[in-house]
Structures are given as C-alpha cells and as structure tokens.
Structure 1
C-alpha cells in the first residue's frame, strides 16, 4: 500500500483497507493502480475472475466502501432479466445522486433507455467530478440475457460519455463470456484460490475473545489438515470451524487438558471431524441442529448425520446415483469384471486383487465421464434405459442437489465429467430402497 500514498485517498482508509483484505494485497494494489485518482477517467471495463470463495466480491465491496467511491453493486443472480438488472442499476444510481428524498423507481424497457436515463442520473456535480463504478456480480448470467446487454456494458463509458467503469465479477474465464459482436475487451484480473497458508491466516483471525490467538490457530491447523484435501471453499471452512470449535474446547472446559495439550485435544475431536466430513457441502442439518445433536450425545449426532439417507429420489435417479458412486470409487479397469454380464448374472470368475497402496475410499472420489456413468447405469438396472432428455435432466437435478459434482465441463471434446459427493452410508441407504447390494460391486470390498 505504500506505493499509493501519492493518490488522493485518505491515509487512514488505505491503512484500514490493508487490514480488511488479508492475503489479497497484490490484487488490491493492482485495482488501486487501475482506479487512479477520483477525478481521472478509469479503464472502461474490468473483468475479475476466479473460483468461488476466492475473495472477488468481498474485496470489491470492501475497497469501494472503505475508500467511499461512488458505486452501484448488483448481483446478476438476483436480477435475472435485463429489465430487472437495468432498473436496479438506475435505482441505486438515483440514491447516489439524490439528496435523500425518495424518488419514483426508474422504468427501463431497453438498453437505449438505460443509456439515456444513466446520463440524466449522473448530471449532479458530486458524480460528474469522480469515477462511478458499476459492479456486476455473477456476470456469467449475462449470457442468458439479450445479445446487446454485455457489449453495451463494456462500452458504457463510450455510450454515455461519463466517467464510469463497469466491473464484471465471474467464476468463468473471459473466453466463455466474450460476446460474438460489438466486444470491447475488458482488462482481466485473476483472483487465485487461497493457499492453505492463506486460509490458516484468515480463519485464525476469527478466534473468540475468550480464547488466545495461538489456541484457535492450532485448532484451525487441525481443521485444515482434515478438510483442506476435499474442500477449499473459505465460506464452507469458516462454517465448519464455527460448528466444531465447541467440541474441540470440551477437554479444556472440563479441566482434562490445557490449551497446549494438542494431542489430547485432537483425540477428542478426531471422530467428530470424521462425521462432519461426510456433510461437507450437503447441509442436511442446520448449525443449530448440529449443536443440538452433539449435546444429545454420540447417538443423537449419528442420527442427525444419517438423516439425509432418507431422502426421496425418483427411481432412475437412485440408480444414477448408485452408478455415479461406483464410477467414482471403482478403478475404470475393473468395469469389465463387475459390469460385463453373462446370462444375466455377474461373472463368478475370481481374479486375484492387485496390491493397492491405499483404499479408494480413503483417496476420495475420482472424476468420471458421462458415457461411463451411462454404461454402468445400463448394466445395473433391470431394463435398458435409453439416454433420453429425462435421464439427462435427472443428472442435472442430482448436480443441483449437490449429490453429484460437475467438473471439467469446459472441454467440448471430452464432454462433462462428474464426481459423486455422497458417503458410503448414504449410498447404502439409497441402495436398500431399490434392493441393490452395492458392496458386491465395490472394488474395495473384494
């Protein structure tokens, strides 16, 4: 931040900003250099991209609010039509330019109307002398709107002749969002995923005041050691840290250990974290229900964790999920052994199992292609199922329910790839509802 002391921003705001955005100093410095001084024309459009929970939205909101820059912040998920989006931008612009009285909401039928109303709304002296920032979060949703919306935003500075910068926040790369016509290339800025060291630093700052920083940092180190291989989402990790911390503190509260006895603290929470690991991203119970189940004892906890096993799914969706689990945890080379049928039964010939270093269930689910999923589905189901739109829509529904995870869908040649996100207990419960013995088809149980 020292290199920006010459800019006309309050020094206190810059120092405050440095403490509010840990592990994103490089990106903040780049943004400040692009913004320049308030009265200078900034770059017409910026494209900030990165995976979920990489700090894009938080950094932009914190930067604009801390420096008190005039801005409009709109989520394209909430404003899912072009009319809602344009009118929300104008509504927030009215609040910036008004003196406090309530104004009638702007009505906008087209992008031409939007440009005209935007020019009218920025005629006040307070907005004419500094850059206005229009931030569109979840900008990938603009692909679902009219073809002129995204090119119009990219050229908003040119069309309105105003000092305005449009900032697009997205989880996809620019090549997947670039319009085919009328495109003015934005300036890209990449937000990489947080490293384990960054997550340790960020999460450690959330420590409760009644405990020391070192004690909470040791707890975060244990938590990341368990969850980091399967979860890099900062929001999810923060949620897991909050709901499991009371269990970690139990030996200290009961006087059985002190804050430095990490070995005893780890042994107390180890099984608890293993149970919590089955619920990453699923959220089958709320945080308050989790705490209540923990207070009710181990049996109550297990009951709460197994609640998702009673989920109701369509008949073919259950077999799709079973096939996805088998594809995730069985090596592809074993498919012929398990799923090639002979006279309607599984081959009885026993083949000596190769020595494996680690169980596939300990290594976690592996990604598999769509054609392998359908091949396994056709093998395990009684009647042949054609790959119709109904089957594909059920796959999409399983992804929406976060029972499947879509990975590698950006490759048009190989097609989409998936991972199964459910636990072994979950899939056993699903299998029992359709009278299918899944353990006979799992390589780890040979």
Structure 2
C-alpha cells in the first residue's frame, strides 16, 4: 500500500492512503457516523466491530442534544478507541447529499473542521479520515475529496497562526473584539458578534494564576497577525517607579525605529541619553512624540494603538493615580485620529481604582478560577497523558476534592499532582487500553486512591517545604534546615526587620549596614560604642512583640538587604536568585506560603489591595536559624535599641 505525502505547512502534512482504517495506528480515526451514534453499516459498522462493545457503551454515554440525536449533522464527538490501534475515535456526521440542497457542502466542510478541532483539543497530532458521506449518503467523490482537502489545509494554516490557551478561548476572543479586532463568535459565550470598534478603557481582572497576562498577550498577537493593531505596548508596572519609565516603555515599543535600541532607562544613574529622545519625557512630551510617530506612518487607514498596563494596582499603590487618569483620557488629548485602547490588568478592582475609572466608563473582562475540568484539560496537555486520559481525569477529580482547601491556586495544585505522579504511573496499565467498566479498572483505581490518601497525609504536612538548590557544605548536621526557596527566606528576614525595626531607622540602618560589614571583614578592633543609661534600660523590641507594617515597606527592605548581602559561594545561587526585583505573582506566592506556615499574618482584608498590611510571626530563634543557614549578617541590620 503506497502513500502520497503533501506538505501543507512547515509542521503539517497531508497523506493520501488506501487501506483498512481500523488498522491505522495513530492518535485518532474519524468515524462516518449517524446522528444517533449507535453504529450502522459501512465504515461505521466496521469501526464498531473492531473496537468492541465498549465503544457502543461509550456512545450511549454521550448526552442527547435532541430526540434521538447525539451528534447533529456537521458536528463531531470523541470517545476512546478501546480495542482499536488508535487512541480515540472521532464521530463525525456528514450530510445526506442532495443536488437541490445548497448547504450540503457547508455541512460537509463543518464535519471535517469540527473533527479536526475536537482532535486538537484532545491533543491528537495525527488523524485519519474516511470519505465522509460518500457511502450510503451518496455524496459524489470528487466534490467530497475537494472539500476534505481544502478543509484540512485551511485548518492547518489557521492553527499555525493561532495562540491557544485551554479554558481561556472565550476571554481571548472577547479581548480581541474589544480591542478592535475580529471576534471569533464560536469561541465566545455569546452567540452575537461584537462590534469591532475598539473600547477606550478595558479592565481585565481575576484571581492569581488565572491566565490574565498570558491571555492579553495572546490577544495582542492575534491582533498583530490579523493586521488589526500593529502598534502595541505591554508594560509591567512591577518595575515602574516614575512616570518617565511608563512613557519611555510605551514609545519604544510603539515606534518601529526605536525597538532595536538598548533600554538603559532603568539604570539608577544613566551616564548618557539614548538617541531616540524618549528617555526623559513628561506627559506633554509623551503626547507630542506619540502624535509624531502616528503622523509619520504615511497610511490612509486609521491606526489602532493598544497599550497594556499589567499589575496596575501596584501603580496606584505607588501614588500614580494622576498618571493613570491621564492615560485614560489620552484619546481625547491627541490631535490626530486613531483608535486607542488602554488595557488594565489587575488582581482585583479596588474602591480607589473603581472611582478613578468611573468617568471613563470602562468595560470589564473577568477571568474566573479554572474549573476542575479545565484543570484536567491543562494537565493532560502539559503532562502528555493522552494515553491514560480517562484514568488520569478520574484521579485528578479525586485529588481536586482532596486538596481543594489546601492549595491556593491551580499552580500549587499542579505541584501536588507532580509530586504524586509516580503513584499514578505505578497503577495505570502500560498500554492504556483499559475498560472503565471492568473489574480490573475498578480495582486499580481503588488501590490508586488508597495509596494517594496515605501519601497525601505526609505531603500536606510538608506542602511548602520544597527542595531548593540551597545546600551549604558547612552546614551543621545537628541543626534542621529550613527548606524554602531563597526568595522566601529573604522575605522572612525582611518581614522580621519590618516588624521589629522602627520605620524612622530604616534609612540609617540600611545605609550603614555595609559599612559595619566591611569593618568586620577588615578586622577592625575598635571598641564598641558605649550605651547610655536610657539605652541600657530599654526593653528590646523583639520582647515587646511585632508591629504591623505595609507591603511597600517590606519590599523596600527586601531590596535593600539583598543589595548589601554578599552570599557565600557554597549556597550555589544563580544571578536570578539575587535579583532585587520580585514580580507581583512571586510576591503574592511567597506571602501566601509564609502565611500558611504561620510566619506572616495578614492584617488587612483580602479584598483590600491598596493598603496591604502584614505582621511577622516568626520568633527570634527561627530568624537566627535562617541567618546561620544562609550566612546573613542579621546583627548589621537589626536595631537592637528599638
């Protein structure tokens, strides 16, 4: 049997072959089914005979969408392959051919496209088609083959240029429509197409690890590929400490001539200015430069400009409300005609942000928490467990119920899954061909659940004591180590200094700590400064109890001690570990970890993102143990006479 291979794209090929489709080895074969999905003649009956009675039972489990209809004409459903050599069977229903029906070609094309879409959603990379509707449905061979080939080519080319995020297709399509692109109505919850006019202010909000930033970036890429928005800028406000940085980042991303130039704006003391002229602008200069860029495009089309500010709540917390208000009314300030959209990404809509945006009538896009089914889809795709998909999904459903109240978000839940994954491999069959109704499957799943319960108890006790690369060779064998990431350890030290050092002494201690450190290294034998009587009688602050401190002060102290800390080479730290800048997600992840370990206490409400206040609950012995573990000079920074 000979095959003819035709390259469609650089990653996809179309193979024309003749043979028995039930013997084909791959991810999925397509069954030319009827609307009932309960077997029939031709290729439908051959596939059911080869797969065994389990396939018919699986088809019975597919819910009916109408009287005696499980899969309407033009749509597709997927089941396991059971005794077939392929992993899945995609049931597609083609139309009954009629010369007088003009919709036959559209329905046949939809059957092919939906089969490919369903296969792609389940991780299938190789799919075999029969000649759908060419048997008892009497569709002519040449027109049917033309539709089949054109459908495969169209799907392959569209998939190559499409960014997919499992569980977030609806939000991405909505964002594209709101930013002035063409909305994909099939991916959106609403069946009505949205007007592609571009909304001036779009607020994207949702909890941690819900895919907000990645989805906005995917929407921007879709806009660029479809030529609906060539001029875009994405600014992460985590590293923004003055308005000039915002203006510079936006202009250098929008201006095509400045994108290749180096960016030294964040340097503390720049010695020379960049040649693009975007290094020291106020609002008026920013508006003038933006107008100059737009007027130099020499295009008859109205330009569509999209500016995204990520972690915008952090921008408000640093006192840049006026800057944000000016960007919201930027469309009215410009002297040229353009479509402008400002996208604001935030973890939650605080009262201050809501009041600030109220005059601009923003539109909102909510990113809810991932459901258990969506988490299963993501994990199956990331861990490539399509061969054991049914058993894995049942196991994930059980673990989701077990860890629902212990894992803060789905990222932590994925960590738990990875820790328990060896147990799953021990109890799943090697060939993946198991029947969920068989006694062997039930016994295997019951044993897997029992072993998971035993392993989960010990895993929950050490949920955040994860292995890191911090391994000191000079460690004392008698002292227990604190197994936390390096960033978490430094954040604990910073929280202790924030609670037990008075705020007015921050500038003094963090500017002189490195001097004291150099003196000790140099072997200075100077006598210690004599204390006054009042200082000698003062009670140390760590005996009075910790004080409440704001999150901004914690991050400032964290950056200060990390800049002056000289870690020993035995810790084996990378350059990224010593970065003084933490992303918003890293800060909240570390704080959540320390809160669950009762090392930090959050005083402010969870909904209050503008003024987060914390208190350190770690005792002095624990802090000293961390200091010895990473050889941190705690005495240089701690105000003993507070």
Q: Would you call these one fold, judging by a TM-score over 0.5?
A: yes
Matched, 1:35 2:179: yes
Question: Aligned partners of 1:89, 1:134: CA distance in 2, in Å?
Answer: 7
Residue of structure 2 equivalent to 1:441? none
For 1:163, which of 311, 315, 339 is the aligned residue? Answer: 339
2:192 aligned with 1:192, yes or no?
no
**1:47 touches 1:174 (CA, 8 Å); kept in 2?**
no
**Using the alignment, how far apart are the partners of 2:415 and 2:461 within structure 1?**
14
Q: CA deviation at 1:239?
A: 3.2
How far 1:382 sits from its partner (Å)?
11
1:386–1:406 CA distance, 2 compared to 1 (3 A): closer
Match of 1:124 in 2: 297
Deviation for aligned residue 1:212: 2.8
Quote the residue 2:216 is aligned against.
60
Measured against aligned partners, the alpha-carbon deviations of 1:32-70 in whole angstroms (never above 9, x if no partner) come to 442344796511111111111122112111122134243
What SS class does the counterpart of residue 136 from structure 1 fall into? strand
1:376-415 C-alpha deviation (Å, 9 max, x unpaired): xxxxx9965485769x989x99948444363861678xx9
Task: Indicate the residue corresponding to 2:286 in structure 1.
Answer: 114
Aligned match of 1:135 in 276, 287, 308?
308
SS at 1:230 equivalent: coil
Structure 1 unaligned spans of 5+: 1-9, 290-302, 321-380, 434-446
Task: Quote the Cα distance in structure 1 between the aligned partners of 2:409 and 2:403.
Answer: 10
The equivalent residue for 1:236 is 412
Going from structure 1 to structure 2, the CA distance change for 1:108 and 1:382 (only over 3 Å counts) comes to closer
Alpha-carbon distance in 1 for matches of 2:281, 2:460: 49
Residue 223 of structure 1: how far off its partner (Å): 3.0
What's 1:83 paired with? 244
Distance across 2 between alignment mates of 1:419 and 1:262: 45
Q: Distance in 2 between matches of 1:100 and 1:387?
A: 48
> Hey, what's the Cα distance between the residues in 2 that align with 1:14 and 1:193?
28
In 2 relative to 1, CA 60–393 (structure 1 residues): closer, same or farther, beyond 3 Å?
closer
Q: Is the Cα–Cα contact under 8 Å of residues 162 and 222 in structure 2 kept in the other structure? A: no
Larger radius of gyration: 2
Match of 2:200 among 41, 44, 48: 44
- SS of residue paired to 1:206: helix
- Equivalents in 1 of 2:258, 2:293: separation in Å? 9
1:244-279 deviation digits (Å, cap 9, x = unpaired) = 323432355999xx8941222233333333333345
Cα distance in structure 2, aligned partners of 1:249 and 1:241 = 12
Q: 1:137 to 1:172 in 2, by over 3 A?
A: same
- Alpha-carbon spacing, 1:252–1:211, altered in 2? closer, same or farther (3 Å): same
**Secondary structure at 1:273 match in 2:** helix
Q: What corresponds to 1:206 in structure 2? A: 382
- Pairwise CA RMSD: 5.2
Higher RCO, Cα 8 Å, sep 6+: 1
Name the structure where helix makes up a greater proportion of residues: 1
Q: Secondary structure at the match of 1:77?
A: helix
Secondary structure of 2:216's counterpart equals helix
Counterpart residue number, 2:467: 285
Deviation by residue 1:296-324 (Cα, 9 ceiling, x = unmatched): xxxxxxx999745xx7978x969x9xxxx
For structure 2, list consecutive stretches of 5 or more residues without a partner in the other structure: 1-153, 183-194, 263-273, 435-439, 471-478, 500-540, 559-589, 626-642
Change (3 A) 1:104 1:152: same
Task: Please say if residues 308 and 344 of structure 2, whose CA atoms lie closer than 8 Å, have aligned partners that are also in contact.
Answer: yes
Matched, 1:22 2:199: no
CA contact (8 A) 1:137 1:170 kept: yes
Contact kept, 8 Å, 2:243 with 2:323, in 1: the verdict is yes
